[in-house]
Structure 1
C-alpha cells in the first residue's frame, strides 16, 4: 500500500520586497519527500528569490518556511536567536546549486567538494578526500579531481558543484537554473546527473526552462508570474493542456 510522504518543504504566505519592488507577493506551495518539483516562469517572476529565501540567502519579509520539520515564521523585524538557530538547521538540511557554479577558483575540484566536510562537519582530511573522490566519481569527474575550476568546462564545473552539495548529505537540493549558463552540448551531462538523483529519491526543487527535463523527471510543475504561484500541476497538464493564458504564452515563447 502506498503511503503519503511527509512534506519536505512547506511555504505559506511568503512575501519579499526590495525597496518598493514586491518580488514575492504571497507564495504558498509544498514539496513532499522524494518529489522533483520544477519551477517555471518569466524573468522577474520571483523564482530565484523564492529559492534563495528557502535557505535564507534572502531574508523573507513575512510568511512561513518549513524544511524537514524546521519552521521559521517571519513577521518582519530582526531575527531572534531561535530564528538563527533554526536557519542554521535548515541550511544543514539543504544544498543549493547555483547558475554561476560558485566554486572556489583557487581550490581544486576535490578541494571544492571536501571544503564543507572538513570546515563544517569536522571530518578529517583523509576521510573527506575519500568521500570527495567517491562523489566526483559519481558525477563522472574522478579524473578531474586535481584540476582547478579555470581548467574545467562549464558542465564540469556544475557537476563539481552538485558533488559539493551532495557531500553535505542534504535532504533537499535547490537548483537555480543549473544549465542556463551552459552551451547546449554541455547541458545534457548535468541533466544526466540530476536525473540519476531523481531516480535515487532525492527531493529536488528546480528552477529551469528545460522542458524535456520537466516532462521526463518532474512530479509537478509550479508556474510563477508576478511574484505569485499561478498554477501548480502535473507536467502532462502543464505542457499539454495549460488552463492559464499566461502559461500558454510562456510556453509559446520558450518553445518558439
Structure 2
C-alpha cells in the first residue's frame, strides 16, 4: 500500500437498477488518496455502471458518493438544485477515460486535450496550448499534436484521451476498460502511461482485465459479481495461493 490515509472517495449504500435489472446492490467502498484500485469481475457484474456512478454519468437510485469531501446522497433520477451543484463540483475533481476514447474527430490531438481548459475553465487558447503540449509530451505524443484522431493508432488515441483527462487537473481519474479496444501490441503504451501516473501518486480507479497491471500497480483489487463487491483485497491475496475459489475460476477464464 502507498501509506496514504486521507479518504478521497467514499461510497455508501450505492444502488442502481435498470427496470427489473438490479445492477448495483448497496455498494460500499472507500479509497484513500494516492491509491490505485483495480475493479475486476465478469461481464454484467456492474463494474462500468459503478465507475460511471462515481462522477454521475450514471445517476444512482440510492446511496451516497463523496469525492474529496463533496458528498451527494440519494439524488435519484432528478437531483435537485443543490445536488446538481455538488455533482458539478465532483466532476471538477474527477476525470474519466473511456474504452472508446471519445475524442472529437474534427479536432487535432492538441485541440482535444485543451478543449476543456478553454471551454470549461476559460483559459486563454495560447496558455491552454502550452499546457496541452506539456501533457502530450508527458504521454509521449508531442510530435502528434497537429494530427487528427483518424490518423492516430488506437493506443495513441487513448494516450491523447489520458492527456485530455489530465488537462483538467483532476484529483481522481476513473478508467473504464482503457485497453480493451486495443490490439495487444498497443496496450503496453497505454499501460505505461497509467503506471507513470500511479507512480506520481494519482488516485485511480481502473476497470480492467489486465492482470499484470493489476498485480504490479494496484494497491487493491475489488472483485464484483451480481452487483455486489464480493472481494476487496490486496493483489498478493487475489492472485496468490490463498485466493478464493471464485477468483481462481475467474482468472482462469481471462488469462
The TM-score, its normalising length taken from structure 2, stands at: 0.97
| 8 Å contact from structure 1 (residues 242, 248) kept in 2 | no
1:32 matched to 2:32? The reply is yes
Provide closer, same or farther for how the CA distance between residues 97 and 4 of structure 1 changes in structure 2, counting only shifts above 3 A: closer
Question: 2:244 and 2:65 mapped to 1: Cα distance?
Answer: 27
Task: Indicate the residue corresponding to 1:224 in structure 2.
Answer: 224
Task: Indicate the residue corresponding to 2:169 in structure 1.
Answer: 169
| 8 Å contact from structure 1 (residues 96, 165) kept in 2 | yes
Question: 1:28 and 1:159 mapped to 2: Cα distance?
Answer: 31
Task: Indicate the residue corresponding to 1:212 in structure 2.
Answer: 212
Provide closer, same or farther for how the CA distance between residues 181 and 4 of structure 1 changes in structure 2, counting only shifts above 3 A: closer
Question: 2:66 and 2:112 mapped to 1: Cα distance?
Answer: 29
- For residues 33-89 of structure 1, give each alpha carbon's deviation from its aligned partner in whole angstroms, at most 9, with x where no partner exists: 000000000000000000100000000000010001000001646211110000000
Question: 1:3 and 1:15 mapped to 2: Cα distance?
Answer: 30
Q: How does 1:142-153 map to 2 (within 5 A)?
A: 142-153=142-153
SS at match of 1:99: coil
Provide closer, same or farther for how the CA distance between residues 111 and 78 of structure 1 changes in structure 2, counting only shifts above 3 A: same
Question: 2:195 and 2:175 mapped to 1: Cα distance?
Answer: 13
Aligned length: 254
Superposed CA RMSD in Å reads 1.2
Stretches of structure 1 that go unaligned for 5 or more consecutive residues are: none
Task: Indicate the residue corresponding to 1:157 in structure 2.
Answer: 157
Shift of 1:252: 1.1
SS at match of 1:72: strand
Question: 1:52 and 1:217 mapped to 2: Cα distance?
Answer: 22
| 8 Å contact from structure 1 (residues 95, 172) kept in 2 | yes
Task: Indicate the residue corresponding to 2:120 in structure 1.
Answer: 120
Question: 1:198 and 1:237 mapped to 2: Cα distance?
Answer: 20
1:51 matched to 2:67? The reply is no
- For residues 150-202 of structure 1, give each alpha carbon's deviation from its aligned partner in whole angstroms, at most 9, with x where no partner exists: 00000000000000000000000000000000000000000000000000000
Task: Indicate the residue corresponding to 1:86 in structure 2.
Answer: 86
Stretches of structure 2 that go unaligned for 5 or more consecutive residues are: none
Question: 1:94 and 1:164 mapped to 2: Cα distance?
Answer: 12
1:179 matched to 2:197? The reply is no
Shift of 1:98: 0.1
- For residues 86-105 of structure 1, give each alpha carbon's deviation from its aligned partner in whole angstroms, at most 9, with x where no partner exists: 00000000000000000000
Question: 1:3 and 1:224 mapped to 2: Cα distance?
Answer: 25
Shift of 1:244: 3.0
Question: 2:199 and 2:248 mapped to 1: Cα distance?
Answer: 29
The TM-score, its normalising length taken from structure 1, stands at: 0.97
Provide closer, same or farther for how the CA distance between residues 118 and 77 of structure 1 changes in structure 2, counting only shifts above 3 A: closer
Provide closer, same or farther for how the CA distance between residues 76 and 167 of structure 1 changes in structure 2, counting only shifts above 3 A: closer
Question: 2:28 and 2:241 mapped to 1: Cα distance?
Answer: 23
Name which of structure 1's ranges 187-196 and 77-86 shifts more when overlaid on structure 2.
77-86
Question: 1:162 and 1:117 mapped to 2: Cα distance?
Answer: 14
Shift of 1:223: 0.2
Provide closer, same or farther for how the CA distance between residues 48 and 83 of structure 1 changes in structure 2, counting only shifts above 3 A: same
